[in-house]
Structure 1
Amino acid sequence: MDKVKVEGVKEQLKGVADFTVGKLTGKEDLELKGQVEITNGSNKKDLADFKDNINKGAVDPDNPSND
């Protein structure tokens, strides 16, 4: 895995933790922060996958099933 993909997964996990803590404690701001981190992490991971597919010469780089 490349560095950007790892950062994306880390951000997603941090977002899940923040979202869960916010949900359990009733802190809407922390819950929303977690949702944003999940989305940002997912976008970073998707971008890394897209770039990886381009480097592999995939016909449809936006399709995650390309090998």
Structure 2
Amino acid sequence: MDKDKVEGVKEQLKGIADFTIGKFTGNKDLELKGQVEITNGSNKKDLADFKDNVKKGVDDPDNPSNE
């Protein structure tokens, strides 16, 4: 797993934690921050997947199921 993908997953996990804590405590700002972190992490992970697929020379680099 490359560095960008790891960073994306870490940000997603942090976002899940923030979202859950915000939801549990009723803190709407923390809940929203968590949602943003989840989205940003997912985007980073998807970008890393896209870059991997381009390096591999696959026909459809935007398809995450390419091997």
When the two structures are superposed, what TM-score results if normalisation uses the length of structure 2? 0.99
CA distance in 2, matches of 1:13, 1:32: 14
Amino acid at match of 2:4: V
Q: Mind listing any 5+ residue stretches in structure 2 that lack a counterpart?
A: none
Q: Mind listing any 5+ residue stretches in structure 1 that lack a counterpart?
A: none
For 1:13-61, what per-residue CA distance to the aligned partner results, in whole angstroms no more than 9, with x for missing partners?
Answer: 0000000000000000000000000000000000000000000000000
1:21-60 equivalences in 2 (<5 Å): 21-60=21-60
CA distance in 1, matches of 2:24, 2:45: 27
Identity of aligned residues (%): 84
**How many pairs align?**
67
Q: Which 4+ stretches in 1 moved above 6 angstroms? A: none
What is the RMSD computed on CA atoms of the aligned residues?
A: 0.3
